[in-house]
Chains A and B, each alone.
With several copies, the nearest count.
Chain A
Amino acid sequence: MIDKQVGSAAAAVADIFDGATVMVGGFGEAGSPIELIHALIDRGVKNLTVVNNNTGSGHVGLAALIENKQVGKMICSFPRTANSTVFPDLYRAGEIELELVPQGTLAERIRAGGAGVPAFYTATSVGTPLAEGKELRNFEGRDYVLEHGLKADFALIKCERADRYGNLVYNKTARNFGPIMAMAAETTIAQTGLQLEVGAIDPEVIVTPGIFVDRIVTVTEPAQESRLVAAGRSYP
């Protein structure tokens, strides 16, 4: 029997190892799997490479993971946002590495990683510093850069509804990176607000088919990052 439900966030992240590449869903706080990130902080593994569009805010969630010195390298498109001081400070101090990737290239690299495409060409970044060192190639009169698919050992994502097969449905713009990170990771761990019976989600509206998901943790009332930040909270 297929049952991807795991009893706790701690159990769900228990095999994430030192040096792992971890994709973390979310665009800002929307879709950020904050309970899974906090479980990863509790776990204490180090030297992670983390893929996320941003670097978190305040001193909770992804920012707290970075502040806790567990992240050796960030792969992201926009590492500074309102209320983000943790990454900038560490970056200026030379204590964390950054691979800056244009947002659409980041999304396409993740999608390619999940779809078995090792590399593709895109016009994004041609003629800019972010194309330096990359292969340029002309197709039909226009230059493109070669970009590589991006895979991960783990993905931590957040959805609204799930079943024990791992079928997922997201909420509004919290969908963002979830579906493609689920495809690109060896082990995908999703926190869901609602756990439903198999068959309760219409086959036409499932966004992430269960084949891309390995573990489901139910977090019925997830914390909201901006509220924690506004309240001056920190983790742990």
Chain B
Amino acid sequence: MNKKSSSMNKKSSSKNEKSGTLNQKNGTVIGWNREQMARRAALDIPDGAYVNLGIGIPEKVAQYVPEGREVIYHTENGLLGMGIAPEPGQEDPELINAGKKAVTVIPGASFFHHADSFAMIRGQHIDICVLGAMQVSACGDLANWSTGAADAIPAVGGAMDLVAGVKTIFVITQHCTKNGDSKLVESCSYPLTGQAVVSRIYTDLAVLDVTPEGFRVLELAPGISMEYVRDRTEGNLIDGRLANVVGA
């Protein structure tokens, strides 16, 4: 899977280079783009992990898991051992993922019904779930299913089950909305998906852990300063970079 993923990566990387943060001063793109965010998160998926990937950028993580690591992907509609997308024309409408896209299976995969699938989730058998976010609060609350707008059609899917049941929740998200509002907030204004569930956040600007003291920066994207991140983050921000801790 990793070999194929690498080639997929090459194919798609050029057209995605543009998707970083637009620097307001000079119009150039700074920070990590979507592919780079997924690649950074993939570094933290250990060998042997059982992983559920949300729709959107999280799906890309599978492409970047470092070679030599064997990771098993779960999709909550009833498959453990999900493989990559099929070749065009090879799609099977009865072999899909939670995003209702055609997938394949790896050798050693298994099918099961929905209650068994969510028993894997609720029973804390899945090691890591990577999700998108509308907002993450400093205490790890996640809002990613509804803006609460009056005319919105509410739709939650498996998000609440995943955050309540999976051992470790990673979030991949742009640091700010298109309007420039921080998605890392003191307290979520959108309806919650779960309380105190997020462990780590991968944004276009930084990698941050959720800690009792607030968002703890582990790593900054190239060319991004703590001040730049602080300006774009609500809630307490701590510099937890190894260099900073060790070298200070």
Residues of A within 8 A of B (CB): 1-2, 27-31, 53, 77-82, 87-88, 91-92, 98, 100-105, 107-108, 110-111, 113-117, 122-130, 163, 165, 167, 170-180, 183, 197-199, 201, 203-204, 206-207, 209-212, 224-226
CB distance from B1 to the nearest CB of A (A): 12
Q: Which parts of B107-142 form the interface with A (CB within 8 Å)?
A: 107-115, 117-126, 141
B156 lies within 8 A of A78 (CB): yes
Q: List 5 A-B contacts (CB under 8 A).
A: A77-B158, A103-B158, A103-B161, A127-B192, A206-B111
In the complex, whether B209 has a CB less than 8 A from a CB of chain A is no
Given contacts A100-B155, A103-B161, A126-B195, contact A115 B119 (CB under 8 A): yes
B125 lies within 8 A of A211 (CB): yes
A176 lies within 8 A of B77 (CB): yes
Q: Which parts of B177-210 form the interface with A (CB within 8 Å)?
A: 191-195
Given contacts A100-B155, A116-B124, A203-B81, contact A125 B164 (CB under 8 A): yes
Residue of A nearest to B109 (CB): A203
0/1 string, B150-186, CB within 8 A of A gives 1: 0101111111110011000000000000000000000
A173 lies within 8 A of B95 (CB): yes
B113 lies within 8 A of A207 (CB): yes
Given contacts A77-B155, A128-B192, A172-B94, contact A103 B118 (CB under 8 A): yes
Set of chain A residues within 8 Å of B122, measured between Cβ atoms: 104, 108, 115-117, 122-124
CB distance from A1 to the nearest CB of B (A): 5
Set of chain B residues within 8 Å of A111, measured between Cβ atoms: 115, 119
Q: How large is the interface on B (under 10, 10 to 19, 20 to 34, 35 or more residues)?
A: 35 or more
Residue of B nearest to A105 (CB): B161
A175 lies within 8 A of B112 (CB): yes
Q: Which parts of B55-98 form the interface with A (CB within 8 Å)?
A: 68, 70, 72, 74-81, 92-97
In the complex, whether B50 has a CB less than 8 A from a CB of chain A is yes
Q: Which of A53, A91, A98, A108 contacts B115 (CB 8 A)?
A: A108
CB distance from B128 to the nearest CB of A (A): 12
Given contacts A1-B47, A125-B160, A174-B94, contact A179 B80 (CB under 8 A): no
Residues of B within 8 A of A (CB): 47-48, 50, 68, 70, 72, 74-81, 92-97, 100, 105, 107-115, 117-126, 141, 146, 148, 151, 153-161, 164-165, 191-195
Given contacts A172-B95, A210-B108, contact A180 B115 (CB under 8 A): yes
Residue of B nearest to A123 (CB): B164
Residue of B nearest to A4 (CB): B48
B96 lies within 8 A of A28 (CB): yes
Q: Which are the 6 A-B pairs with shortest beta-carbon distances?
A: A199-B107, A104-B161, A104-B118, A116-B122, A115-B119, A127-B195
Q: Given the complex of chains A and B, what is the CA–CA distance between A18 and B141 in angstroms?
A: 38
Q: Which of A31, A197, A209 contacts B110 (CB 8 A)?
A: A209
Given contacts A30-B96, A114-B123, contact A98 B154 (CB under 8 A): yes
CB distance from A110 to the nearest CB of B (A): 7
Q: Given the complex of chains A and B, what is the CA–CA distance between A42 and B80 in angstroms?
A: 36
Set of chain B residues within 8 Å of A173, measured between Cβ atoms: 75, 77-79, 94-97, 111
Q: Given the complex of chains A and B, what is the CA–CA distance between A88 and B72 in angstroms?
A: 35
Q: Given the complex of chains A and B, what is the CA–CA distance between A28 and B93 in angstroms?
A: 10
B156 lies within 8 A of A102 (CB): yes
Residue of B nearest to A76 (CB): B155
B100 lies within 8 A of A180 (CB): no
B80 lies within 8 A of A110 (CB): no
Q: Which of B68, B97, B153, B157 contacts A77 (CB 8 A)?
A: B157
A176 lies within 8 A of B113 (CB): yes
A211 lies within 8 A of B74 (CB): yes
Set of chain B residues within 8 Å of A212, measured between Cβ atoms: 120, 125
Set of chain A residues within 8 Å of B194, measured between Cβ atoms: 126-128
A130 lies within 8 A of B118 (CB): no
Q: Given the complex of chains A and B, what is the CA–CA distance between A81 and B119 in angstroms?
A: 25
B124 lies within 8 A of A210 (CB): no
Q: Given the complex of chains A and B, what is the CA–CA distance between A31 and B72 in angstroms?
A: 24
Q: Given the complex of chains A and B, what is the CA–CA distance between A107 and B120 in angstroms?
A: 12
Set of chain A residues within 8 Å of B124, measured between Cβ atoms: 116
A130 lies within 8 A of B156 (CB): yes
Q: Given the complex of chains A and B, what is the CA–CA distance between A142 and B125 in angstroms?
A: 18
Q: Given the complex of chains A and B, what is the CA–CA distance between A1 and B48 in angstroms?
A: 6
